[in-house]
Amino acid sequence: MLQEPGRRASHGLRGGILVILATVCCTFLLAGCGSDGQLHTLAGTQLKGQVHGGQQPVSGASIQLYAAGLSGNGAVAVNLLSPNVVTTDKNGAFSITGDYTCPTATAQVYLVSRGGNPGLASGVQNQALVFVAALGDCGTLTSSTYVWMNEVTTVAAAWALSPFFGSGALAGASSTNLTGLRNAFGTAASLANIATGTAPGGSLPTGAIVETAKVNTLANALAGCVNSDGGAACTPLFTATAVAGVAPGNVFDAALNVVRNPGVSVARIFQAVSANAPFQPTLASAPSDWTMSITYRNGGLDVPAALAIDSTGSVWVANYFGAAVSKFSPLGVPAAPQGFPGAGLNQSYGVAIDPFDNAWVTNEQSVSAAGNSHYGSVSKFNAQGTELSGNGFTAGGLYYPVSVAATPAGLIWAADYGGSAATLLANDGSAISPAPGYAASQLPFTSAVALDAGGDAWFATQQGAARVSASGVVGSFACCTGPAGIAVDPSGNVWIADYGAYAVVELNASGAVAHTISTASAPVSPQGIAVDGAGNIWAANYYGDSVTAITGATAALRSPVAGFGIDAPLNEPYALAIDASGNLWFSNAGNDTLTEIVGLASPVKTPLLGPAAQP
C-alpha cells in the first residue's frame, strides 16, 4: 500500500532511519519523492525463503533485508528489518512477515544471510558464511516471492554488483546513478534464479548464453568453506583470494575479491572445488580467468561494428550489412527483432548517442537517393528507433565517414576516412565545417574520433593522431603503426588501439607519446578502446578474442598479455563500450553477436559525451 504524504510508516522501520531516507530522497529528487517534499514509501509484504550451503540447510542464520545506499558506490545500505531479527529454522527456512517498508517502489533491495550451522553438530556456527541474493525493485516483492539463498546467488551478486559493494556486504550507488544500480540488479537476475538458487537466471532473452559452468564452479569453490565451521576448511579459499596479503573473512568477500581480480590465483581458486561439487555442470579444469560473460544475438545484428550506450543503459549497434541499426535493452533484449531499418543506412561502422538520446550512425557509402555520389552520410534516429534524417545527412565534407562522436551540446563530429578530414554537424544535421571538411587531407585515412574535456576532437590517423578544434585548427602527432581506435581519459591523456603494432599507446594532452603497452607476445590486434569511470583502459582485441585491461594512472597491464575474457564467446570483437553498471559490451563482427562482460569495469556516465566520467 502506498503511504500517504506525510504519514510515517510503522512497520519495522525506525523513525530516525525513515527521516534519513526522506532527506536523501528529497535532496536528490529521487524516484518516489513527491513535489510536496515527502517520501512516498511502500509497505512491505511477506517474504519467504531458505538458506542452503551446497545441498545442506543452514539453521540459525541471521537474515537482513537491505535497501542499497544512495550516497556513492559502496555506500552504507539500510537494514529495512531493524530492529527486528529474523533467523532460519532447522530446515534453513525463514519468513519475513512484512515488518519493513520500501523507501520507494524502485529502491533496490537484497538479502544477506550471516552465520548459521550448515548441518554440523549442535551449537556450531560458521561465521565465514555470508550469502547474498539480489532481489531488485522493492515494489515488485509479493507474498509469493520465494528466495533460495546459496553460493550461486552469492557469486551472481558478486559479479553483477561488484562496483557497488563496499565492506560488510553493504551496497550503494551515487544518487545520480540509480539507473546503473538498477540495471546491475537486473543482470544479477540473469546470472542466477533466486527462486531456485540455480544458474542461469530465468529472465534471459531468447538465444542468450551465460557461462553457467563457471558460475557453478565458483559457487563450488565457496561450498567447501560454507559447509564447515569456518576454520581450516576455509584456508585454501581465503589464501587464494587474498588481496595485498589481506585474506577475506567470509565467502562473499572472497567472491568479490575473485571477480575484481579475475586473473589472480586462477588455478588455486579452482583447486578449492571439492570432489563432490554440489552445483552442476561445472568446469573440468581451471578457467582462463574468472570474468563472467553473457552473449546475446538477434535484433538485426549483421556484421556489427561500433556500439554506444544511451542514458537508460540500452546498447545501440551499427551494422555494416542489413541496413538497420540494432538496439538492446540493458538486459540484452532486442528493441526490434530485425533492428530499426533506415532508408539512409548503408555500410555502417560508427554510432554515437547525443545528449537527447538520439543515435547517430555513419554510412561509409551513402545510398543513391542521397545524391552525393555515394560519398557517405550520417543517419539520425530517435530513442524509439524512428529515422529522422531521410536518406542521410551529407553536408560538411562527409566522405566515407567511419566513426562519430557527440558533444555535450549535441554537435556531431565524424571521421572521414575517404577525405582524410573531419566533419562537424549541428544537431539538425546542417554543416558547421566547410564543404571539404576541417583539416582536409591532414587526417590521413582517419578511422576513429573521441572528444576531450576542452571540446576538441581527437582522431586516429595513419601512423598517428590529430587534434581538431571546433573552429578547425589542427595539430598532428606521430605515434603508431596502425591506429584503429581512440579514447580520452579523465586526465586528458589520449589512448590509441594500435592494431598493427599489437599495442596500446598513450599520448599526453600535448600529443607526446607517454607509454606504449605491447601485447606483441600475443598478437591480439587491438581494435576498439574505451576508458572507464576510474580512468582504466580497456581494448577489444580483434584477433585475440579478448580484452586488454590497463591501469590508466600507471600504464601497467591489469590483464594477462593475451587479455581477459578468453573463455567468453568473443569472436572478432570490433568495438566496446562501458555502461553505468560497469559492464563491458562488445560487438562480435565474426558471428553477429553482442557480448557483455559483467561488472568488470568502473561505471561510466552515459551517453558518452567526452572523456569518461563517473555517473
Q: What is the pLDDT of residues 517-526, one digit of tens each?
A: 998 888 899 9
What region does 116 belong to: left with phi over 0, alpha with psi -120 to 50, or beta? Answer: left
pLDDT in tens, 164-175: 999 999 999 999
Residues 193-215 have a mean pLDDT of: 96
Amino acid of residue 114: R
Is residue 314 predicted with pLDDT exceeding 50? yes
Distance CA 479, CA 514 (A): 10
Distance CA 587, CA 15 (A): 49
Residues 541-563 have a mean pLDDT of: 96
Distance CA 104, CA 29 (A): 12
Distance CA 125, CA 369 (A): 74
Is residue 67 predicted with pLDDT exceeding 80? yes
Rg (CA), the chain: 25
Distance CA 326, CA 495 (A): 27
Residues 72-85 have a mean pLDDT of: 91
pLDDT in tens, 447-458: 999 999 999 999
Q: Return the H-helix or E-strand segment holding 225.
A: helix 212-226
Residue 520 has a pLDDT of: 84
pLDDT in tens, 399-408: 999 999 999 9
Q: Is 22 helix (H, G, I), strand (E, B) or coil?
A: helix
What is the full DSSP assignment across 451-479? Answer: E-TTS-EEEEETTEEEEE-TT--EEEEE-
Distance CA 315, CA 332 (A): 8
Secondary structure of 137-175 in HEC code, one letter for each residue: EHHHCCCCCEEEECHHHHHHHHHHHHHHECHHHCEECEC
CATH topology of domain 293-597: Neuraminidase (2.120.10)
Distance CA 95, CA 47 (A): 6
Residue 98 has a pLDDT of: 79
Task: State the chain's mean pLDDT as an integer.
Answer: 92
Residue 395 has a pLDDT of: 97
Tell me the CA distances in angstroms from 338 to 6, 189, 229, 297, 561, one per residue in order. Answer: 49, 26, 54, 11, 37
State percent of the chain over pLDDT 90. Answer: 88
Compute the 3-state secondary structure of the chain and give helix, strand, coil in percent, each to the nearest 5.
Answer: 15, 35, 55
Is residue 496 predicted with pLDDT exceeding 80? yes
Tell me the CA distances in angstroms from 42 to 8, 27, 34, 45, 100, one per residue in order. Answer: 11, 19, 13, 9, 9
Residue 45 has a pLDDT of: 82
- State pTM to two decimals: 0.93
Residue 523 has a pLDDT of: 87
Q: Return the H-helix or E-strand segment holding 517.
A: strand 513-518
Distance CA 446, CA 194 (A): 48
Nearest 5°: the CA angle 303, 209, 341 is 35
Residue 26 has a pLDDT of: 35
Is residue 42 predicted with pLDDT exceeding 90? no
Least confident of 67-76, 88-97, 280-289, 310-319: 67-76
Is residue 14 predicted with pLDDT exceeding 60? no
Sheet holding 556-557, edge to edge: 526-531, 537-541, 546-551, 556-557
Which three three-digit cell numbers place residue 71?
Answer: 550516497
Residue 99 has a pLDDT of: 81
Is residue 186 predicted with pLDDT exceeding 60? yes
Residues 467-495 have a mean pLDDT of: 96
Residue 15 has a pLDDT of: 30
Residues 189-208 have a mean pLDDT of: 95
Residue 23 has a pLDDT of: 34
Distance CA 18, CA 62 (A): 23
pLDDT in tens, 374-416: 999 999 999 999 999 999 999 999 999 999 999 999 999 999 9
Which residue spans of the chain are classified as CATH 2.120.10.30?
293-597
- Is the separation of the CB atoms in 53 and 118 below 8 Å? yes
Q: Return the H-helix or E-strand segment holding 93.
A: strand 93-97
Distance CA 390, CA 371 (A): 12
Residue 44 has a pLDDT of: 74
Cell 542514458 locates to: 311
Residue 474 has a pLDDT of: 96
Is residue 218 predicted with pLDDT exceeding 80? yes
- The neighbouring-strand residues paired with 293 are 597
Residues 249-275 have a mean pLDDT of: 97
Provide the CA 338 distance to its chain's centre, in angstroms: 24
Residue 207 has a pLDDT of: 93
Which three three-digit cell numbers place residue 336?
Answer: 526490434
Residues 26-46 have a mean pLDDT of: 49
Q: How confident is the model at residue 593 (pLDDT cuts 50, 70, 90)?
A: very high
